[in-house]
Amino acid sequence: MTDTSATNEQISRELVLPYLNHAVRMFESGYASATDIDNAMRFGCGYPQGPLATIDEIGVQQVRDELAARFSESGDNLHKPADLLEKLAAEGTTFASGAAGADAEAPQLKHEITKVGVVGTGTMASGIVQVFAQAGYDVVFVGRGEDKIAGVVAFIEKGLGRLVEKGKLDEDTKAAVLGRLTGSTSREDLADVDLVVEAIAEDLEIKTQLFKDLDRIAKPGAILATTTSSMPITQLGEVTSRPESVIGMHFFNPATVMKLVEVVTTSATSADVDQTVLALCAKVKKVAVSCADRSGFIVNALLFPYLNDAVKIVDEGRADIDTVDAAIKEQAGFPMGPFQLLDVVGNDVSLAIQQELHTEFKEAGFAPAAGLEKVVAEGNLGRKTGKGFHTYN
């Protein structure tokens, strides 16, 4: 093995092992099933396999031993092997051989869903409108002006046009999809939908006012969903008279391409609503994973500490940005290096998520890296500003 390969493997292991450990802790706490954790990272991040399957591939004992060695050096609780990892290593068992448990039965639609509402006109909202319309649902989408409404239609026409060019759709089907769209500037037009998906700005006050409005407008039994990635869904439910009907449907961007939807229940969400949304995701050809309402859900809670750790390696002068990016792609098989991904997500967004995780989990190792705080303070937010950790033309 060349020195470069050895260095790349060391960097990859240093970043990936705590991520694997965190995934085990997430599973052993009962927050999400093994299948859902693995599917979340495969379909939400494009990873070749999920973290628990990766542990089985590397070897439970080896992962446990490498983490223990790291913990003895760092004293960082995030490097201390999870209790379940210790147990599996002692027993000589794996996640695949039974630790993961049996998969749940396929969810069923408990509420009839024939008409869907979407609030918002941005890229995420437009993609969600297209997903439902392509799956055969009539969709009412609401925006703040006729120009915004026209923008959604143009977005969908363009997307469908590309599918026609590629031979994946014919003109008649394209026309049928467009025929299912109804744009409106009035929320009152959501009165007869069976499900509303909110996809507006990530601002709790604005979302809270919207949910109060939706509670007044939507018919009894209608499900109120939010695609938030960071706001507390429980608080949105609490401002309505139907918290049992409030749920998270966290689509990933672009919604027309990304397969994953994190279905997030609060303590008040009814089992029938949860079942219905999970089944609906399958009907629109998405992979749904279940989790509860806490910071980061599955994907962000596992992804961002790893990204933050990558910045710390560079902060400490142990490798440069390009070396870390190359190591992760070469050794872990991830589609993007951590600094490339930070720049795509937006360094300001990444910092905000890491701050939330630090507040939620109170782990010293989750404190935002100085280098991440620095690029945000300098206004180098990533691809959207032309410069982040990398520079873009």
CA distance 128 to 121: 10
DSSP state, residue 79? G
Any idea which residues carry the catalytic annotation? 229, 250, 262, 300
Distance of alpha carbon 109 from the chain centroid: 23
Strands 181-184 and 138-142 come out as parallel
Report how far residue 64's alpha carbon sits from residue 60's, in angstroms, rounded to the nearest whole number.
Answer: 6
Can you read off the two tokens belonging to residue 138? 């009539």
Residue 262 per-residue DSSP state = E
Nearest to 119 by CA among 56, 74, 183, 178: 183
Sheet holding 115-119, edge to edge: 181-184, 138-142, 115-119, 195-198, 223-226, 246-251, 260-265, 287-292
Q: Helices (DSSP H) in the chain: which residue ranges?
A: 3-28, 34-45, 51-58, 60-74, 83-91, 123-134, 146-165, 171-179, 204-217, 233-238, 271-283, 299-315, 321-327, 338-345, 347-361, 370-377
DSSP secondary structure letters along 158-201: HHHHHHHHTTSS-HHHHHHHHHTEEEES-GGGGTT-SEEEE---
Following CA atoms 303, 195, 114, 218 in sequence, which dihedral angle do they give, to the nearest 10 degrees?
-170
Instruction: Give the residue among 303, 242, 232, 231 at the shortest CA–CA distance from 268.
Output: 242
Q: Half-sphere exposure (CA, 13 Å, Cβ side) for 258?
A: 22
Rounded-to-integer distance, Cα 324 and Cα 338, Å: 8
Distance of CA 271 to CAs 56, 247, 268, Å? 32, 11, 9
Backbone angles phi and psi of 209, in degrees to 5: -65, -40
Instruction: Give the chain's largest Cα–Cα span.
Output: 66
